[in-house]
């Protein structure tokens, strides 16, 4: 889609569609631009369902990720929150210990992940993150953290003292609202945008007593918010802001296997301290594994696999209502996930392989679905109205008629037409007709999830082959890491033993992949 940045002329369809929605600014609010209007119509046109979010596919059997998830089994807490908190802490530990991913021709990529999770009220979000922190605090590994609630001036001081630190932000929607709308946070927004790409930041205002400059700012961010309050703190147009698009979003869906009434107390019983100690010991072993920190490299077949996955998105998410700006940033975060997941799988001593890369793409898929779902949940009224018009447009076109506002109105009942303001149907049709890169978007079988399932056959085949010995392979890795950690083995001894172990449990993969288009 051609980039458009001009403000639409009053009275045009671009200015009138979704007319009640306005963009918050430091000076008040403004109308949507043509770009923003089209992006919103795209995102509202096709529904997605929260039940498609399955975090179990993100926790390989027998891995440390699954063991952490099992620690929460006797609760009704969403597995998503505890897993994302673990990944965030791991990303921060790796960053603080100088870990990078070396990509030939690209350079060094830091494993700094910026993640925002949304959950229903009463879902014990803070308890989940606190429990992960309590478990990992039992180990000998320390994590530097950024304090919350600081002013913009204090924030850059804190980051200067603890560059690479972990920033956990509860009620993140309210914080983002302040960053986007309050003038005293203006500098912070600019600093955060620069920090995303590790560009230098500095407070060089005359009013600042301490002149600070951070040459390569870096930190890992994990924010949590209640879904309902998020929508009031961050309006739908703000999700199109470049600042909000820097973050990967995830939906912490309620558990289906249990509910709140089955658990009066969480983490109760004599076995809980033992579980915490066991998880803390594995965390220590992961941090002590050979080459845990430093430069990570990739096997020769990893980039071809990722390139094949990325090109496959053209016919899946590229044809979806999710703006490409989201797709691009989520896709790039896969490179950061490579390092974190390889570390958590206990494979740091080896180059990153396709097994890790395939898992990283599943996290990206989770973020794709979540970002689209979040946007569509903002205003069910607008979502429903756009989707109704889109469905009728498809029927009109299939009958060989021109998809005009008049023809669409003729297909509507009187009650449905009454939902729209004068001229609104024609306005929505006008915008839909401008979206040219989305053929068959409104077909029932063309949702992002269904297209993905159809076109990722090759990736799923690899996934099934990897799962043949997944539990055995991951459990053996954990045992070997613990054995080496307990015995205080030298790095070389651990490497020699682990290489023998991995050779007994390798899954052969053959690339390049066959086309799935």
Q: At residue 486, does pLDDT exceed 50?
A: yes
* Mean pLDDT (whole number) for 181-196: 88
Token code pair at residue 195 = 């920090």
CB atoms within 10 A of CB 496: 12
Q: What average pLDDT score do residues 127-152 get? A: 91
**What does the CA dihedral 272, 277, 278, 282 come to, rounded to 10 degrees?**
140
- Residue, of 475 and 323, whose pLDDT is higher: 475
- Residue 379: predicted pLDDT: 52
* Arithmetic mean of pLDDT over the chain: 80
At 34 the pLDDT is 66
Q: Which residues contact 329 (CB under 8 A, 6 or more apart)?
A: 245, 246, 248
Cβ atoms of 345 and 398 closer than 8 Å: no
For the segment 339-359, what is each residue's pLDDT rounded down to a tens digit? 999 999 999 999 999 999 999
150 Cβ contact list (under 8 Å, min separation 6): 158
Is a pLDDT exceeding 80 seen at residue 473?
yes
Q: Is 402 exposed, middle or buried (0-12, 13-18, 19+ CB in 10 A)?
A: exposed
User: What are the structure tokens assigned to 304, written together?
Assistant: 């071809």
pLDDT of residue 123: 83
**Distance between CA atoms of residues 85 and 95, nearest Å:** 15
Top pLDDT among 447 and 40 is at 40
303: three-class secondary structure by DSSP = helix
How much is the average pLDDT of 332-338?
97
Joined together, the tokens standing for residue 324 give 């490409």
Q: For the residues 300-310, what does the mean pLDDT come to? A: 94
Secondary structure (3-state) at 138: coil
**What is the rounded CA–CA span in Å between residue 452 and residue 312?**
9
Amino acid 376: pLDDT:
72
Q: What is the mean pLDDT of residues 274-302?
A: 96
The β-bridge partners of 169 are: 223
pLDDT bin (cut points 50, 70, 90) of residue 230 is confident
Sign of CA dihedral 415, 417, 422, 424: positive
Sorting pLDDT into bands at 50, 70 and 90, what band is 512? very low
Contacts of 491 (CB under 8 A, 6+ apart): 290, 291
Handedness of CA 161, 164, 165, 168 (dihedral sign): positive
pLDDT of residue 393: 83
Chain segment 368-403, per-residue pLDDT in tens: 999 888 877 765 555 567 767 877 888 888 888 888
**431 versus 193: which is more confidently predicted?**
193
Q: What is the mean pLDDT of residues 485-498?
A: 57
Question: Range with the lowest mean pLDDT among 258-272, 292-306, 409-423?
Answer: 409-423
More confident residue, 212 or 354: 354
Report pLDDT digits (tens) over 161-188.
999 999 999 999 999 988 888 887 888 9
Query: What confidence score (pLDDT) does residue 490 get?
Result: 46
Q: Indicate whether 296 pLDDT > 50.
A: yes
pLDDT digits (tens, 9 = 90+) for 110-121: 999 999 999 988
- pLDDT confidence of residue 38: 63
| Calpha distance 168→51 (Å, rounded) | 27
Cβ neighbours of 325 (radius 10 Å): 13
Banded pLDDT at 5 (limits 50, 70, 90)? very low
Under the banding of pLDDT at 50, 70 and 90, the label for residue 37 is: low
> Is 453 a residue whose pLDDT tops 50?
no
- Whether the per-residue pLDDT at 206 is higher than 70: the answer is no
- Compute the distance between CA of residue 119 and CA of residue 230 in angstroms, rounded to an integer: 10
């Amino acid at each position: 889609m051609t980039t458009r940045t001009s403000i639409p002329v009053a009275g045009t369809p671009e200015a009138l569609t979704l007319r009640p929605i306005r963009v918050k600014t430091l000076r008040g609010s403004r109308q949507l631009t043509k770009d923003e209007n089209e992006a919103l119509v795209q995102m509202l046109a096709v529904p997605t369902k929260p039940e498609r979010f399955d975090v179990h596919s993100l926790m390989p059997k027998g891995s440390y990720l699954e063991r952490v998830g099992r620690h929460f089994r006797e609760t009704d807490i969403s597995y998503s929150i505890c897993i994302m908190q673990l990944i965030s802490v791991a990303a921060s530990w790796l960053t603080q210990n100088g870990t990078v991913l070396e990509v030939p021709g690209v350079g060094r990529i830091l494993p700094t992940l910026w993640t925002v999770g949304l959950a229903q009220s009463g879902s014990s979000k803070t308890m989940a993150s606190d429990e992960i922190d309590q478990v990992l605090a039992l180990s000998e590994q320390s994590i530097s953290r950024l304090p919350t609630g600081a002013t913009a001036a204090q924030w850059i001081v804190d980051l200067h003292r603890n560059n690479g630190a972990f920033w956990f932000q509860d009620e993140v929607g309210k914080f983002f609202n302040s960053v986007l709308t309050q003038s005293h946070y203006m500098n912070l927004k600019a600093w955060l945008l620069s920090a995303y790409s590790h560009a230098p930041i500095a407070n060089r205002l005359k009013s600042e007593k301490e002149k600070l400059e951070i040459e390569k700012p870096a930190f890992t961010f994990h924010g949590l918010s209640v879904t309902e309050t998020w929508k009031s703190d961050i309006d739908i147009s703000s999700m199109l802001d470049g600042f909000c698009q820097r973050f990967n979003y995830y939906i912490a869906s309620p558990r289906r296997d249990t509910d709140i009434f089955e658990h009066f107390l969480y983490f109760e019983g004599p076995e809980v301290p033992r579980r915490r100690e066991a998880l803390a010991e594995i965390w220590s072993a992961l941090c002590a594994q050979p080459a845990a920190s430093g430069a990570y490299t990739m096997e020769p077949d990893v980039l071809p696999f990722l390139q094949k996955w990325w090109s496959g998105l053209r016919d899946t998410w590229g044809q979806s209502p999710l703006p490409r700006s989201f797709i691009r940033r989520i896709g790039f975060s896969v490179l950061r996930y490579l390092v974190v997941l390889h570390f958590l799988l206990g494979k740091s001593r080896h180059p990153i392989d396709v097994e890790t890369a395939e898992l990283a793409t599943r996290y990206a898929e989770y973020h794709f679905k979540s970002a689209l779902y979040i946007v569509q949940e903002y205003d069910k009224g607008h979502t429903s109205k756009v989707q109704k018009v889109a469905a009728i447009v498809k029927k009109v076109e299939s009958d060989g008629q021109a998809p005009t506002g008049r023809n669409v109105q003729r297909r509507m009942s009187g009650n449905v037409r009454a939902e729209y303001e004068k001229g609104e149907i024609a306005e929505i049709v006008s915008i839909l007709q401008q979206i040219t890169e989305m053929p068959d978007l409104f077909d029932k079988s063309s949702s992002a999830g269904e297209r993905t399932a159809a076109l990722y056959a090759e990736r799923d085949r690899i996934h099934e082959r990897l799962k043949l010995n997944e539990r055995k392979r991951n459990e053996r890795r954990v045992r070997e890491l613990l054995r080496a950690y307990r015995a205080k083995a030298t790095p070389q001894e651990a490497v020699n033993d682990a290489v023998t172990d991995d050779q007994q449990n390798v899954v052969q993969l053959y690339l390049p992949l066959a086309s799935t288009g």
